[in-house]
Amino acid sequence: MKRVVIIGGGISGLSTALYLKEQAASAGHEIEYLLIEKGSRLGGNILTEKVDGFLLEGGPDCFLSEKPWTAQLCRHLGLGDQIMPTTEENKGTFVLSKGRLHEMPEGLILMVPTKIMPLIATSLFSWLGKLRMGLEIFIPPRHSKEDETLGSFVRRRLGNEALDKIAEPLVAGVHAGDPETMSMRASFPKFMEMEDEHGSLIKGMLARMRKAKEVQRASAGPRPTMFMTLKGGLSEMINAIVSRLGSSSIKLNTAVSRIEEKDGKYFVYLLPGTVPILRQDEALSVNRDSPLSLALSSARKSGTVHYIEADSVIISTPAHISSSLLVELDNPLSEKLQTIPYVSTATVTLAFNASEVKLPKSFGFVIPRVEERKIMAATFTSRKFAGRCSDEYVMIRCFVGGSKNEYLVDLDDKEMVDMARGELRDIIGISAEPVLSRVYRWRKAMPQYTIGHLERMRWISGRLHQHPGLYLTGSAYNGIGISDSIREGEITAKRALDYLFPKR
């Protein structure tokens, strides 16, 4: 029987394992697979916690409805009725500018203005800034296949103010990145396509909105909001995948240290000390018919190092870790993976008695880096999505770190909470004592698609042809969010099966 080892139990590894299992079953292929996760839980960056009636998301809290793969997977998992939009009555976002919060003008989609009156009326931009944004429609398209940074693109099309006040905090902010290094083609290809196709972002966005309306008219059901989530938190999706995979094909608390390749087989080495399951007695206690038992039965012991033999290996760890796993197998590939930069971030969730806090009606605010504040943004979590906590409380989540203030991720919990409280005091006047506080750190967890990313990806894909059966998947490569990771997982599963069971 063909054996596949999947390394990493984040959404990329889990969705790959699920699609692999289901695609193999529907094609009548017999495979055994084993997903190996270093940590004691599954989900990677996705982490929902329920504490004293509060629903907290430590990492991602939503997915983009524009990218259909998360919603599709959730429906497939039987979670269709758990998908939830943002709350209509609180919609809106504020932007901090010169120390004051300004409401983002209606019709400003990502960074493109689509309505004239709100743009004229807003206090966020100067008159010159507004005029420059409006003139976008007359700026000739560049029509070049060359890549460009987000900073250069936005300055060229919409002007400096749009970059500083909107594109940097909102668009680059999603990646916690630096607009002066982010690749437009790799990170935001849709904007470049709009410029190419319509000659202008404003025209392109209006055309896109018309199309979306037609699609919506043709489809039944409520209109999805830009951001969606699951009623019980995003970990519901993780739990549903895990229950379909079955615990016997998943190994927690086990870190892979390196991968070797010999005579068309892969050898996945497990870090000494993290492989108690490979002890003879424990391996025997595992259900003999389970895929894990089958995988372990051929696991060898050499000195203090253990390995599992596989016909195909799918690596879904962050690129810098994947790099370290491949040092011996392919050093140039390993070095190339190291060139994908990552930044660290943290989230600080604070809950307050609702009676002690007055929040502007919105989902929260973003902070341009020119404001020189410590947090990047704050989401009014309990306003953005229903059911996150009882009405007696409000919950706010602050984003810390990113390319500008990465060092802040190293603050200890008390320092981090004090810092976040200080920022909320200065910006929205909250001086109340929180009834709950939680800090989540995400070290080197956000890949950055910098200039040259697409060339890097072409090189990496070409190089992988030298190692048939070896695959890299995850947010480091072809799309940064949850939906992209799921889509990549499905594609990777298909590739692995096509390799293992070639069509005659």
Ligand X SMILES: Cc1cc2nc3c(=O)[nH]c(=O)nc-3n(C[C@H](O)[C@H](O)[C@H](O)COP(=O)(O)OP(=O)(O)OC[C@H]3O[C@@H](n4cnc5c(N)ncnc54)[C@H](O)[C@@H]3O)c2cc1C
Q: Which residues of the shown chain bind ligand X in the complex (CB under 6 A)?
A: 7-13, 36-39, 44-46, 59-63, 255-256, 316-318, 321, 345, 347, 442, 445-446, 474-475, 480-482, 485
Nearer to ligand X by Cβ, of 114 and 492: the residue is: 492
Please give the Cα distance from 238 to 222 (Å, whole number). Answer: 25
By C-beta, is 66 or 433 nearer to ligand X?
A: 66
Closest approach of Cβ 447 to ligand X, in Å? 8
CA dihedral 36, 42, 43, 48 (to 10 degrees): -170
CB of 463 to ligand X, least distance (A): 20
Closer residue to ligand X, CB minimum distance, 45 or 382: 45
| Spatial CA neighbour of 430 closest among 345, 386, 365 | 365
Tokens encoding 228: 């969606």
> Mapped to the 3 state alphabet, what secondary structure does 38-64 carry?
CCCCCECCCCEEEECCEEEECCCCCEE
And the tokens for 269? 């080495």
User: Could you tell me how many residues make up the chain?
Assistant: 504
Cβ proximity to ligand X, 214 vs 328, nearer residue: 328
Residue 12 or 349 having the CB closest to ligand X: 12
CB of 133 to ligand X, least distance (A): 27
Separation of CA 361 from chain center: 27
What's the DSSP call for residue 169? I
Q: 450: which DSSP letter?
A: B
- Provide, rounded to whole angstroms, the least separation between the CB of residue 285 and ligand X: 23
Q: How far is CA 132 from CA 154, 198, 373, 376, in A?
A: 11, 19, 27, 26
CB of 208 to ligand X, least distance (A): 20
Smallest separation, CB 324 to ligand X (Å): 8
As a three-state string, the secondary structure of 375-422 is EEEEECHHHHCCCCCCCCEEEEEEEEECCCCHHHHHCCHHHHHHHHHH
Give the largest CA-CA distance in the chain: 75
Q: Which is closer to ligand X, CB of 11 or CB of 396?
A: 11
Q: How far is the CB of 164 from ligand X (least distance, A)?
A: 23
The nearer residue to ligand X, 59 or 113, going by C-beta atoms, is: 59
Non-local (6+) Cβ contacts of 34 within 8 A are 3, 4, 5, 6, 249, 250, 251, 291, 292, 295, 308
User: Rounded to the nearest whole angstrom, what is the least distance from the CB of residue 108 to ligand X in the complex?
Assistant: 20
Distances from the Cα of 39 to the Cα of 8, 262, 299, 326, 343, angstroms: 9, 28, 21, 20, 20
CA 127, CA 69: separation in Å to the nearest integer? Answer: 41
Q: Of 201 and 315, which CB lies nearer to ligand X in the complex structure? A: 315
Looking at the Cβ atoms of 187 and 485, the one nearer to ligand X is 485
Q: Which is nearer to ligand X, 34 or 62 (CB)?
A: 62
Q: Taking the CA atoms of the chain, what radius of gyration do you get in angstroms?
A: 24
**Angstrom distance (rounded) from CA 311 to CA 355:** 60
Q: What number of other Cβ atoms are within 10 A of residue 361's Cβ? A: 12
- Residue with structure tokens 């010159």? 128
Minimal distance, residue 99 CB to ligand X, in Å = 26
CB of 452 to ligand X, least distance (A): 21
Could you tell me the smallest distance in angstroms from the CB atom of residue 464 to ligand X?
A: 17
CB nearer ligand X, residue 125 or residue 440:
440
**Tokens 């392109």 found at:** 204
Smallest separation (angstroms) from ligand X to the CB of 245: 14
Cβ proximity to ligand X, 200 vs 362, nearer residue:
362
Q: Are 31 and 4 in contact (CB under 8 A)?
A: yes
Surface-to-core class of residue 101, CB atoms within 10 Å of its CB (0-12 exposed, 13-18 middle, 19+ buried): middle
Nearest distance from C-beta of residue 255 to ligand X, angstroms? 4
Closest by CA to 69, choosing from 478, 496, 489, is 489
CA-to-CA separations, 287 to 176, 363, 479, in angstroms, rounded: 45, 49, 38
Q: Residue 123 or residue 276: which is nearer to ligand X going by CB?
A: 276
